[in-house]
Amino acid sequence: MTNRNRRIFSRIARRYDLCNRVLSLGQEQNWRREVADHLPPGRVLDLGSGTGAALPVLAGRVVVALDPVAPMLSMSPIHSRVVGVGESLPFPDESFDSVFSAYVFRNLSSVDRTMKEIHRVLRPDGVAGIVDLARPIGPWKRRLHTMGTGVVLPVAGLLVGAPGEYWYLHRSLGKLAPPEALLGNGPLRLEQVWRMGPLGFVYGAVLRKPPLLA
């Protein structure tokens, strides 16, 4: 995450979860759950944990929260909290059974470095689950979605007193490749990708670290 992004999320920390619920029509937790249900039991890293909104869908696991924005992390109910970035995870090799990340990847400084770090901290046969936003598949859906977010997101920003921050969100949605290309060429094996939400602008992805050979 860049310093600019860190400042943005620091400013909107207390309003971020409420605005996400409104913009998703209350579905953002259901989208988290669809991905979290693919994770094994054990120790999970909640990468880009923010205020800890994912804790209910990670129930039954030992959760470690990591986020670069200290004001957001300070609001989290998760006991184990670490300030840090995905591109340089401050954990030993093979220290997690799974990694979960929701609505984070479009804000990373380097997806490639983050994927290498996730691979490093996962145990063999460990699973990474990612949920994030992307432009829909298909030209007319992309155009419609781009026009819609160009109106809706700045208006939402005005309602929470952060118009510039939500205009940034509108622009960030189009800067990354589709998840199949973004995640499919890294050190983890991409097992499945699926679309959720209106027009399919939310995606879920499950990746696995190959097990050790017998």
* Measured distance CA(78)–CA(57) in Å, rounded: 13
Beta bridge mates, 65:
46, 81
Q: Which pLDDT score is estimated for 198?
A: 76
How would you write 134-193 as a 3-class SS string? Answer: CCCCCHHHHHHHHHHHHHHHHHHHHHCCCHHHHHHHHHHCCCCCCHHHHHCCCCCEEEEE
Per-residue pLDDT, averaged over 86-110, amounts to 93
CATH architecture for the domain at 3-134+175-208: 3-Layer(aba) Sandwich (3.40)
Per-residue pLDDT, averaged over 51-78, amounts to 93
pLDDT: which is higher, 175 or 120: 120
Domain boundaries, the chain: 3-134+175-208
Per-residue pLDDT, averaged over 175-202, amounts to 89
Cβ neighbours of residue 42 under 8 Å, at least 6 residues apart? 61, 62, 96, 97, 98
